[in-house]
Amino acid sequence: MRTVRWGILGLGSIANKFASDLLLVPNTELIAVASSDYRRAEAFSEKYSSKRFYDSYQSLFDDSDVEIIYIASLHPKHAELSIAALKHRKAVLCEKPLAMNEQEVKAMISASHSTNVFLMEGLWTRFNPSFQQAQDWIKEGKLGRLRYINATFSFNGLDRGPDSRLFHPDKGGGTLLDIGIYPLFLAYQLLGKPKNIQASAHLTAHGVDQQLAILLTYENAHAVLYSSFAHNEVMSATIAGEEGEIYMDSRWHETPKLSLVKGEEMVSEAFDFIGKGYSYEIEEASQCIREGKKESAKWSLDSSLELMQLMDSIRQLCGIHYPSDRNEKK
């Protein structure tokens, strides 16, 4: 198996977790990292044994040894930086959310198609073995017809303050795009597009959602979803069908344990993740590159687009707007 040569752009919190997992994935190599800050790039490069570091993103785009760039900047920069990378013929694994809105996602997909270069959203839960097992049980018919999904994602981030990326509109603040995307992903992946969406949010003074409740209605099912930056909670999830249920232990999006319940019987399965769990999306993207694929069959660009369209609809229902929206429909 040939070695895939990675670059990382935007060296903040998630880039550190990703890089430590990249070191655990065989047949991958960290070639270069880039940050707006020279010292951050230098320290990151040393810590994760990158061959080179840059204090300009352009230098990373110009590095001919790099095949794929992991974009780990704030959400409002995802579209611009991914498109720039694609135009330099670099494959892209971009952090979730893929962008700020439908128009940006469409522009990214269009750039991937016109350059014929790989693009994937880093929706890491999709690739984790525990999620895969849950999905396999459902596909095998163990739950019968799905009726109900309940998933939440909350933590108390109030102490980060209004200028943090969690709360500032210019930084893509708000729960939906950051953490509400996970419960929404679960419902979308298992039930598809809903017939009806209801949503209610508590907005901050700057107009982003600090707490959000979503009710999705399907032909024969409901998904009850919730996200908050205002409190902690046990983050388990329930997937219920007419013939059984799956209970995903907290935190369900990286769950260490699944239980399949059918009447009086219960089967539990525990999972030991490789690293923090980002290794699985790294393996998927690397294998796609080796095989010359332009997108992942497991989490396609159409899926990313439809997930973003759902988020746009929820934002519209709740009156959540971002500066990036001003660029829409030019």
Ligand X SMILES: NC(=O)c1ccc[n+]([C@@H]2O[C@H](COP(=O)([O-])OP(=O)(O)OC[C@H]3O[C@@H](n4cnc5c(N)ncnc54)[C@H](OP(=O)(O)O)[C@@H]3O)[C@@H](O)[C@H]2O)c1
| DSSP string across 101-158 | SHHHHHHHHHHHHHHT--EEEE-GGGGSHHHHHHHHHHHTTTT-SEEEEEEEEE-B-G
Cβ closest to ligand X, residue 36 vs residue 268: 36
Least distance CB 86 / ligand X (angstroms): 18
Least distance CB 55 / ligand X (angstroms): 9
Q: How many CA atoms lie within 13 Å of 228's alpha carbon, on the beta-carbon side?
A: 16
Cβ closest to ligand X, residue 14 vs residue 237: 14
Least distance CB 178 / ligand X (angstroms): 5
Cβ closest to ligand X, residue 15 vs residue 69: 15
Residue nearest to ligand X (CB): 12
Least distance CB 36 / ligand X (angstroms): 4
The one-letter amino acid code at 243 reads E
| Angle formed by the axes of helices 38-47 and 13-22, nearest 10° | 30
Cβ closest to ligand X, residue 5 vs residue 75: 75
Report yes or no: 314 and 214 within 8 Å, Cβ to Cβ.
yes
Judged on CB neighbours under 10 Å (0-12, 13-18, 19+), 50 is: buried
Cβ closest to ligand X, residue 61 vs residue 137: 61
For residue 243, give Cα distances in angstroms to 132, 137, 240.
20, 12, 8
| DSSP-derived secondary structure letter, 2 | P
Least distance CB 141 / ligand X (angstroms): 31
**Structure tokens, 127:** 């690739």
Cβ closest to ligand X, residue 106 vs residue 165: 165
**Structure tokens, 23:** 């070191």
Least distance CB 93 / ligand X (angstroms): 11
Q: Which residues contribute to the site for ligand X (CB under 6 A)? A: 10-15, 35-37, 40, 72-75, 95-96, 122, 124, 165, 171, 178
